[in-house]
Structure 1
Amino acid sequence: MAPRVLVSDQLSPTAVQIFKDRGVEVDYLPDLGKDKDALLAVIDQYDGLAIRSATKVTEKLIAAATKLKVVGRAGIGVDNVDIPAASRKGIIVMNTPFGNSITTAEHAIALMFAVARQLPAADISTQAGKWEKNRFMGVEITGKVLGIIGCGNIGAIVASRGVGLKMKVIAFDPFLSADRAAQLGIEKVELETLFKRADFITLHTPMTEKTKGIIDAKAIAQMKDGVRIINCARGGLVVEKDLAEAIKSGKVAGAGVDVFETEPAKDSPLFGLDNVVCTPHLGASTEEAQENVALQVAEQMSDYLISGAVQNALNMPSISAEEAPLLTPFVKLAEILGSFVGQVTEDPIKAVEIVYDGAPGAMNTRALTSAALAGLLKPLMQSVNMVSAPLMAKERGIIVSEVRRDKSGVFDGYIKLTVTTEKFSRSVAGTSFSDGKPRFIQIKDINMEAEVGRHMLYTTNHDEPGVIGELGTMCSKNNINIANFHLGRNTKGGDAIAMLYLDEPLEEAVMAEIRSLKKIGQAKLLSFDV
């Protein structure tokens, strides 16, 4: 029996035809997504659900979807899909993360021009019968410094457009390598340097805990007087009230804003200010982009339903049914090793080497490497997954290499991941025992055996008495229970590390206390999906 797909939002007729041409039965009911009760009543008839933003794929809908295998979102945002509920039900969630990249980049450039020449206000004034040439004195783009925060897919397109406009382009991105920057014809800088030098600043970074509020009053104070700021990424990247105050004071000369802290934006501190150009999240709103993402989601869903191929899945690794029992524990291990390095490394990563020793070397190492890269990139790019991680790493100029070798140690097999930055190399190794649980077995070439927990405290120190006591006392004082405490050192009196498996995370104030301890070097609170 042919698989059956429901299209519950507006989608291109060409996309609907793709399903039919590939042998998939399709019901095109573009208004059904707006009626949650009607959708709930029929969802159990379908193997696939193709949506845009109007359809809400809730836990209740997923529970009723007894046949559903895949949800395809035409576009990048999946806020309207309960991904954890879908994962628990075994439903793949796909999106089309690259279909609107050019459109979003062009919108950022359009806003930059609009702010530089005050075009919207000048248009309103002129159509009102005024002729205020002196009021709307603009600035040239040519020769100005364009600062890009986040130089991934969209940021790189903006960079190329900026270079073409004869701007001096600088970029901050923790994963941007010097080689990739040179290839783009731009200069890689630290964030503080970008703030000090840029005439225009445009944001193209995901929203994470590290990037939320990345432009606030403190950041603006570091910027040039008269800077202009563009945001087509995510509203929460910019603290709107801080930007509004800076525009009122004249510190910021103008802003182009397509995304807001709360959407739909009915009110904002930015509304009504001179030389603030606001648009209603139009970054992906072009005919070409809407067509591209619709065609892509139809192709991806058809591929999966007909042949089992998976592209741009947000919640599933590319592992065949035959491989799964043996591979899955090592996929989780690879992701955890990558996550460890991603959480403790703040410098841009130039290269990643992954050694598969013994049993893992005979497995599907492509899946393992994808899992490791997903873990590595996820601290800064929460939407990254096993499918998209290799491309994300390539776009950032990260050189990835694999080494397979026969069993060489006491373990039947292990994985060792080494990252290289411009300043240092750092390695971590782990294995999976018969219980399927991952273990750290070496960190920074120091042997240890540590069970992996959801919340872990990682510290480095000089090997000397008192470290265990101080860490234990600090946790006890703050009512934090230690499930396991693991230690390792290279030599007596040399470098040492500790991994504490905690029942709950430490507050930042407690972490600050730990970092202030004289015996402690580095201290990081880590989180793992176990």
Structure 2
Amino acid sequence: MAPKVLISDALSDAAVQIFKDRGIEVDFQPKLGKDKDALAAIIGNYDGLAIRSATKATEKLIQAATNLKVIGRAGIGVDNVDIPAASKKGIIVMNTPFGNSITTAEHAISLMMAVARQIPEANASTHAGKWEKSRFMGVELTAKTLGVIGAGNIGSIVIDRAKGLRMKVVAYDPFLSEDRAVELGVEKVELDELLGRADFITFHVPLTDQTRNILSREAIAKLKPGVRIINCARGGLVDEEALAEAIKDGRVAGAAFDVFAEEPATNSPLFNLPNVVVTPHLGAATTEAQENVALQVAEQMSDFLLTGAVTNAINMPSITADESKIMGPWITLSGHLGNFIGQMTDEPIKAINILFDGEAAEMNLKALTASTIAGIMRRRNPDVNMVSAPVIAKDNGVQVSTTKQDQSGAFEGYIKVTVVTDTRERSVAGTVFSDGKPRFIQIKGINVDAEVGENMLYTTNKDIPGIIGKLGSILGDHGVNIANFTLGRSAAKGEAIALLYIDEPVPADAVKALEASGNFQQVKPLTFVAI
């Protein structure tokens, strides 16, 4: 059955056509996002939800979305999506962070020029029939210092454009490396130094607990006299009231804002002040940007629903279509390893430690880790997936750690998973052979070579003669057909294990017969399903 996608906001006809061309059933209702009750009544029928800003994907709506697998936001902001609720439900949330980057950067440059030359006020004055040439004395951008707070995707474009205007650029960004700063051609500085040196300051960071009110009243007091402030990023980054006071007393020469702490903004402290340019959140409002993000979200959602490729996800590691082809067997393996150890562990798990060796260590470790955790959690929560598993583990206080190392043995790469409980540690390791099939290669420190199937049986016993015959005989008496039989032992006469790949689930009476025979210390039917 073809996946079904609901578009509840205004997306272009070309975006709708992308879904159709990819074989996805699409329901285009661009006004539905404003009617939360009507949307909640039908959302359970869809695998995907494509939105802009009008639709509010609240916790209530997400709970009603019984079949939803992905929410795609055409644009960068996901303030209208309850990310924690979606993650716990196992719903991937995607955005399109690059579709409007150039447009937003250009708007920041435009506002900087507008406030530097007082263009809006001069325009209004001239339209009024005045000729106040001497009133509007601006400043040049050339040789001025631009302080960029946030040197990511949009910030780096602003830096490039500012350098073209022959500005000096300093940047504050805790995640900006020295090498990247050299590549961008900027001087990396701390925030206080930027505040004291910049003639213009522009913001290009998301609104987080760390960035909220980053230009506070205290920070405004550190600004270079005569500075001009530009914000095309997010409302809430600047104390608007304190900035308005600084403009009124002349310490700040002007400001240009496209975003506000409360939107729609109808009464900001910055309104109606001299040399303050304000626009109604137009950063992404160009024909090209709106079309780009609509097409991009349609492609991303289609890729995920049809191939499993994950791009620009907020709550899950991205996996490209090419990565999906290469990593598919390894994701299956990591899920199976987790599944095995989860089914073998009855106690509460305190910690999960994952070792990635060789080829596995060069892959997308976040995706492999998420798959492993999902496998471990699957026994207790059958609905868990790669999105919800890390959240559930964290909520339950499970510590997750990962280690990677160069190739250390006969295999080109492998994954080893260890769980820690109050009383023991249990581990299992596996690899992917050239045929693309996952194999278990070590259980409890005992080397094995076991192909993984949907239905399996795990037993432990003392290494004594006749055990294999008794195991096969009892299973045969109960109609169990063995597809593959793997044995391993710690040492002669020591502990031995068997892992059987069988055609059907082991009947309960067969398990009881094995246990009653007195030959086996542990008899455990196992089921493996893809994460």
TM-score tier after normalising by the smaller chain length: 0.5 to 0.7
Shift of 1:329: 12
Alignment partner for residue 433 of structure 1, among 387, 404, 420?
A: 420
Per the alignment, in what secondary structure is the counterpart of residue 323 of structure 1? helix
Count of residue pairs the alignment pairs up: 368
RMSD: 3.0
Shift of 1:66: 2.0
Shift of 1:361: 5.3
Query: What is the alpha-carbon distance in structure 2 between the residues aligned to residue 65 and residue 210 of structure 1?
Result: 32
Cα deviation 1:240-274 (Å, max 9, x = unaligned): 11101110111100000111111111211111110
Q: What amino acid maps onto 2:29 in structure 1?
A: L
| 2:204–2:232 contact (8 Å) kept in structure 1 | yes
Partner of 1:48: 48
Partner of 1:111: 111
Partner of 2:499: none
Cα deviation 1:478-497 (Å, max 9, x = unaligned): xxxxxxxxxxxxxxxxxxxx
Q: What amino acid maps onto 1:72 in structure 2?
A: G
Larger Cα Rg: Structure 1 or Structure 2?
A: 2
| 2:361–2:405 contact (8 Å) kept in structure 1 | no
Q: What amino acid maps onto 2:364 in structure 1?
A: A
Shift of 1:196: 1.6
| 2:143–2:167 contact (8 Å) kept in structure 1 | yes
Q: What amino acid maps onto 1:433 in structure 2?
A: V
Partner of 2:365: 368
Matched, 1:31 2:31: yes
| 1:83–1:93 contact (8 Å) kept in structure 2 | yes
Partner of 2:257: 257
Shift of 1:153: 0.6
Q: If the length of structure 1 is used for normalisation, what is the TM-score?
A: 0.64
Shift of 1:278: 0.8
Q: Percent identity?
A: 65
Q: What amino acid maps onto 2:82 in structure 1?
A: D
> Bigger CA drift: 305-314 or 209-218?
209-218
Query: What is the alpha-carbon distance in structure 2 between the residues aligned to residue 357 and residue 60 of structure 1?
Result: 35
Cα deviation 1:361-401 (Å, max 9, x = unaligned): 574653326799xxxxxxxxxxxx99xxxxxxxxxxxxxx9
Shift of 1:41: 2.2
Query: What is the alpha-carbon distance in structure 1 between the residues aligned to residue 234 and residue 45 of structure 2?
Result: 36
| 1:70–1:93 contact (8 Å) kept in structure 2 | yes
Query: What is the alpha-carbon distance in structure 1 between the residues aligned to residue 15 and residue 257 of structure 2?
Result: 31
Partner of 1:175: 175
Matched, 1:6 2:18: no
Alignment map for 1:53-452 (pairs within 5 Å): 53-317=53-317, 318=319, 320-326=331-337, 363=360, 366-368=363-365, 403-406=405-408, 432-433=419-420
For structure 2, the residue ranges without an aligned partner over 5 or more in a row are 320-327, 342-352, 370-386, 389-402, 426-531
| 1:357–1:406 contact (8 Å) kept in structure 2 | no
Query: What is the alpha-carbon distance in structure 2 between the residues aligned to residue 328 and residue 99 of structure 1?
Result: 38
Cα deviation 1:310-357 (Å, max 9, x = unaligned): 111122235845533536999xxxxxxxxxxxxxxxxxxxxxxxxx99
Query: What is the alpha-carbon distance in structure 2 between the residues aligned to residue 324 and residue 437 of structure 1?
Result: 22
Q: What amino acid maps onto 1:26 in structure 2?
A: V
| 2:5–2:49 contact (8 Å) kept in structure 1 | yes
Per the alignment, in what secondary structure is the counterpart of residue 201 of structure 1? strand
Query: What is the alpha-carbon distance in structure 2 between the residues aligned to residue 157 and residue 253 of structure 1?
Result: 25
Query: What is the alpha-carbon distance in structure 2 between the residues aligned to residue 204 and residue 68 of structure 1?
Result: 32
Query: What is the alpha-carbon distance in structure 1 between the residues aligned to residue 15 and residue 261 of structure 2?
Result: 33
Query: What is the alpha-carbon distance in structure 2 between the residues aligned to residue 327 and residue 311 of structure 1?
Result: 24
Cα deviation 1:102-149 (Å, max 9, x = unaligned): 111111101000100001111111111111111111001111111101
Query: What is the alpha-carbon distance in structure 1 between the residues aligned to residue 339 and residue 174 of structure 2?
Result: 29
Matched, 1:17 2:17: yes
| 1:414–1:432 contact (8 Å) kept in structure 2 | no
Query: What is the alpha-carbon distance in structure 1 between the residues aligned to residue 208 and residue 424 of structure 2?
Result: 28
Per the alignment, in what secondary structure is the counterpart of residue 104 of structure 2? helix
Cα deviation 1:145-184 (Å, max 9, x = unaligned): 1110110111100000000001111111112122211211
Query: What is the alpha-carbon distance in structure 2 between the residues aligned to residue 33 and residue 246 of structure 1?
Result: 40
| 1:327–1:363 contact (8 Å) kept in structure 2 | no
